[in-house]
Amino acid sequence: MSGPLEGKCIVIIGGTTGLGLSAARAVVAAGGRVVAVGRDPDNVAAAAAALGSSARVVVGDATDPATAPAAIATAASGFGGFHGLYHVAGGSGRRRGDGPLHELTDDGWDFTLDLNLKSVFHSARAAVRQFLAQGSGGSIVHCGSVLGSSPSPKFFATHAYATAKAGVVGLSRAAAARYAADGIRVNVLAPGLVATPMSKRAQDDEAILGFIRTKQPLDGGRIGVPEDLDAAVVWLLSDASRFVTGQVIAIDGGWEVSEGRWTEANDE
């Protein structure tokens, strides 16, 4: 029995660690082929070993406008086609000066938006151009965040990051509207707090973990794991979601519908 991505080649920008690597494994398991892009050569080598012959894994920086077109060209030439893009690359700008508005630095703003929004623009533009050239349609999935629409003022007050993730939604919905008639679908996944290298600060903070137990109350009140997103990624990239575009799907353990609480003891 063939999988839902049989015969499809998917480009994953940010596909060598965390959410992206987990998604790449899921795509391969669903019968697809992958071109995965990552910045760190060591992670690229490890991902290539993990994904096997169904994947091409290359070094590239998502903020470089040449990265996504090169990866898409690799899919088209090396695997005979390009059918979908998942952009998951991004990260925290906290160390560069992201934070609450009154503390947010110019460098923190520029760095965070380049990493989390401008990089998405580069990838989406490259994918749309290729789909239009092919006349084939296709699926684009962007990784957003619940912080783009559901702020956490105490523990996650990184306002450039929240702005970037809200911008991902705006760009995605505008593109979904413009290119629906061309068969190009654009959707967004909005995870809550997930255990990835980016979230290590939160994973090691007992006050945040206490908050998460009430903010993400599903399944015992835990931090998410990358595999929590995989089924949605495969579905959105497959023909099973062929009538879905312009949507933001929160995979957040209940974050957006839960109040979340902390105690004074958590502040000590």
- Return phi, psi of residue 8, to 5°: -105, 150
Task: Look at residue 199 in the predicted model and tell me its pLDDT.
Answer: 81
Task: Look at residue 159 in the predicted model and tell me its pLDDT.
Answer: 98
**Two structure tokens written together for 255:** 């974050």
Tens of pLDDT along 7-22? 999 999 999 999 999 9
Band (160; pLDDT cuts 50, 70, 90): very high
- Return phi, psi of residue 62, to 5°: -65, -25
Please tell me the total number of residues recorded for the chain in this structure.
Answer: 268
Whether residue 209 has pLDDT greater than 60: yes
CA angle 93, 22, 62 (to 5 degrees): 40
Rounded Cα distance between 6 and 242, Å, is 15
Q: Model's pTM, two decimal places?
A: 0.95
CA angle 107, 164, 236 (to 5 degrees): 145
Band (266; pLDDT cuts 50, 70, 90): very low
**Eight-class DSSP state of 114:** I
End-to-end CA distance of the chain: 56
User: Is the domain 9-252 a CATH 3.40.50.720 member?
Assistant: yes
CA angle 189, 237, 19 (to 5 degrees): 45
DSSP per-residue letters across 154-183? TT---HHHHHHHHHHHHHHHHHHHHHGGGT
Tell me how crowded residue 133 is: count the other CB atoms within 10 A of its CB. Answer: 10
Once rounded to an integer, what is the mean pLDDT over residues 237-242?
Answer: 98
Q: What are the residue numbers of the active site?
A: 161
Which residue from 108, 111, 106, 69 is spatially nearest to 90, judged by alpha carbons? 111
Tens of pLDDT along 21-76? 999 999 999 999 999 999 999 999 999 999 999 999 999 999 999 999 999 999 99
Tens of pLDDT along 174-205? 999 999 999 999 999 999 999 988 788 888 88
Once rounded to an integer, what is the mean pLDDT over residues 216-242?
Answer: 97
